[in-house]
Structures are given as structure tokens and as C-alpha cells.
A and B are shown apart, each in its own frame.
Chain A
Amino acid sequence: MPTFFERRQLVAPGDLLAEGNYFAGENTFKNEEKVYSTSIGLVEFQERRVFVVALKAFYVPRVEDIVIGGVTDVTIGGWIVDINSPYPALLRASDVMERSYRPQRNNLTSIFDIGDILIAKIVSYDRTRDPLLTVRESDLGKVTRGQIVGIIPSKIPRLIGKKGSMITTIKSETGCHIVIGQNGRVLVSGKTVEDEQLAIMAIQKVEEESHTSGLTNRVAELLKERSGR
């Protein structure tokens, strides 16, 4: 059962990755017995599963994901939130209001206004409707301080690291509170702007070098150096 590339080789759309009894994983498709790549990325083989870690991808909503988005519109029923995906997300007024009364428009803007950044969770999404958000759980809601940095969504697992090793390193070395939105937005808030800048620099380094090894150590060293701790 042949495979045509080695692990972590760069592949392009249409490249034949494997032939035979393989399962077509992320960013691949199967035609007859052949598995092809759909994207530019690094191919991975795990047992009988072939998949490609795309080097560039946008966020497709998934239920239960935590996302960070900006309010772009206030309507009678709620807020439209840009979550960096092909689909705008909706936060219903009823999610935030305790009682079910019909709020006037200006009451809603006093809660969240255009330009506000929210941390929310996707409660529902399917092919026929735009994603629906909630801010009801703890740790969700409006962001009042800190900076947002963008990162390609497919790199987020690398940013978290094995058992959270990477993100824990960054948090501890910079003393920042970090919230990772699955939609490719990361909120960094620290005691000082310099701390936040340090964390952002680390996050960007992870994004650029995500496909290399020994990254966690290099990031830790860089942070120790720069922060003078």
C-alpha cells in the first residue's frame, strides 16, 4: 500500500499522497483508492490515516469552540459578531438578558456596542444557518483590556502544545493572562504593555515556526532572554 511522500513534506492541492486502504483525513480527499491533498501543507501519516496540516486556512465554526470576535452590528434581536470566518456569528439578546422582554435597540448598545470585543462560545452551527454564540458561561463576555493577535487557526494546536506545554511556558514567562480563540484570535493581557508585547512576539514565533521541532525550548529561551528574568 504505497505512500508517495514522507512525513512533513510539503504538498500541494492535487498531490497524490497514498494509494490503498487509507482513511482520508483533514485537507485530503479520496477518489477511488487514491488519497489526494486539497491544500498546501505538510502531509502526516498516522497508522492508516493520511492528513495534511494546511499552512494557510481560515476558521470554519465548530460547536463548543471558544472564539474571540468583534461586534460589527447591533440589531433588534441581538448582535452580529465577526469571528474571522466566512460566516458572521449571531449573539441573541435573549442570551444576555435575564428576562424575556423585547429590548429596544439602544438598550442593547449599552450592553455591547459596535467595536466591542467578546469572548464567546459557539452553541450551534450547521450548513444552513450562521453560527450562534453564547456569553453565558464564566470567562466569557466583553474584553476590557489587553491586545488581540491573529494566528492561522490551524496553528492553534501548536500554540497550545502537548498537554498545554507551549502556552503554559508563554504564560509563565510573561505573566500574561492568555485566552486562545479557536478562530485564530488570541487575547493577551498582562501587567504592562511590554509583557503583552513579549507574549505576542512569542505567539507570532510559534506561528511562523510551527512546523519545526524544539520550538517550545527555543520560545522559552527567547522569553527568558528578552524579559531579563
Chain B
Amino acid sequence: MSNETLINKDGLRIDGRKLHELRPTKIEVGVLSNADGSAYIEQGKNKILAGIYGPKEVHPKHRERPDRAILRCRYHMAPFSVDERKSPAPSRREIEISKVIREALEPAVFLEYYPRTAIDLFIEVLQAHGGTRCASLTVASLALADGGIPMRDLTAACASGKVDGKLVLDLNDIEDKKGEADVPLAYMPNLDVITLLQMDGQLTIEEFTEAINLSLEGCKQLHVLQKEALKSKYISVREGVKE
């Protein structure tokens, strides 16, 4: 097998994208009838479903907070979501990701409006192909909005990275594994602040600064798609009645 490069001589990546191009993304809001709020995203080969329940009573009761709601988050990958079957038990990676996702969303939600309750967020990765924690955040934010949970802003997330020496946007699985760096980032566009930031690999400070700006660009594009998904769910009701 030849030593394949990840970016060819025309500047195209292994899936045909340009360096700063987002994977094709499709978002749908309100897809589950039982969950209080839900949303679904397909970003490249990623297929991720998010659902929320709450605000509701906290069990066990000693976990409740008198001054605000608690946000609980479970990021979980289905056993069939990756090439080699993944055991259903939560892995350390899933536990860490659950934590950083929760912490990214906490500043967005008006938790103080619902003391002594819990908002449970469940993220199921049905198919994974790189950048799942970012896509999960993008879809989780919509699930919360769909559930009527008041928020300061929507949250969009996107990773950038370094592949074959070049900075690229929205790494897929192969680029993530074989590339030189990965920078996942979550952003609240109207407030212009970052709520999730991680990095692994090696980057100079200048490269890192460029990577952040690239991730932010990706987030802004995803934010447009998020709003379109929200509007298309509700506008169709409106349009149907106009006659």
C-alpha cells in the first residue's frame, strides 16, 4: 500500500474537500416524540441524535441544587457506530466528552430559572467519523432549544486541525487519526465567546491562533444551518395556513 498523503497536489483532501471546507451537513429539529426536545445531525458520515428531558425533579434528591437546575449530560457511542464494535459500557473517553459538553452548554442555559430541577441531555452517536464531540454540541444546543429551555445563545462547534502540514477545517476520522493536530472548539455566536476548547497534537502559537479562527469560521457556518433547521420546522406550519 502506498504512503497516501492526506492532501493531494490540487490541494484537495481525501474526501474531495478544499482545506477550509465544512463536511456536507444536514440538521433536523424535533425528531423524537417522547423527548421534551430533540434534534438530529448528519455531518459527513457522522450521524448523531440528541434528546432532552426536563426540567424535572432530581433523583437522587441530594443532587438537586436550591438555586438552579443541574444539567446532566451523557455522550454515548452506539456499539455499531465505529469500525470495531465498541462495548456499550461508558469508556473514559465518553466520560470526559460528556463532561466537556456539559460544561460548554452550562453557560448558555438559564439554569437559575429552574431551581431544584434537572435537565437531562442524552447524545447518541449512531455513526462516528471524526469530530463527534463538536457535532454533538451543535445538535445538543438545538435539542435544548426545541425543548423550550431558555438559553442565552445557540452553541455551534467545529474542529480545525493540521493535516500534511496545512491547517484544515472539520477533520474527518482519518484526518484526525493521521493528522498533526486537532482543535475542537464550541462557540456562542451572538455573544462571541468560546465555551469548549481542547487541543491535541503539536502546533506553534501562530498555527494555533490560525486554527482557532478557522474553527470559528466553521462554527459561524454551522450556526446558519442551525437557524435554518429551526425555522424550517416552524415555518412550515405557518406557510400551510397562509391560504
Contacts and interface: CB of A to CB of B under 8 A. Distances in A.
- Is chain B found bound to chain A in the same assembly? yes
Interface of A: 10, 12-16, 27, 29, 31, 36, 38-40, 54-58, 60, 86-88, 127-128, 208-209, 211-212
B145 A12 contact: yes
5 contacts: A56-B148, A86-B56, A87-B117, A127-B66, A212-B238
The size class of the interface chain B forms with chain A is 35 or more
B154 A14 contact: yes
B57 A88 contact: yes
Contact of B145 (A39, A58, A211): A39
B115 to A, nearest CB: 5
Interface in B166-218: 188-191
B89 interface: no
B99 interface: no
Given A86-B57, A211-B238, A36 B115 contact: no
A57 B145 contact: no
Given A14-B154, A15-B190, A127-B115, A86 B55 contact: yes
Given A86-B55, A212-B238, A13 B115 contact: no
Interface of A is mostly: loop
Interface stretch (B7-15, B73-81, B132-140, B227-235): B227-235
B153 A14 contact: yes
B150 interface: yes
Contacts of B56: 86
Of the candidates A31, A127, A128, the one having the most CB atoms from chain B within 10 angstroms of its own CB is: A127
Of the candidates A16, A58, A86, the one having the most CB atoms from chain B within 10 angstroms of its own CB is: A86
Contacts of A208: 237
A16 B190 contact: yes
B126 interface: no
Contacts of A29: 110, 152
Rank and list the top 10 A-B pairs by shortest CB-CB distance, nearest first: A14-B153, A38-B150, A86-B55, A14-B190, A56-B148, A13-B151, A57-B148, A86-B117, A212-B241, A127-B115
A38 B117 CA distance: 19
Nearest to A15: B190
Contacts of A12: 145, 154, 226-227, 230-231
A155 to B, nearest CB: 12
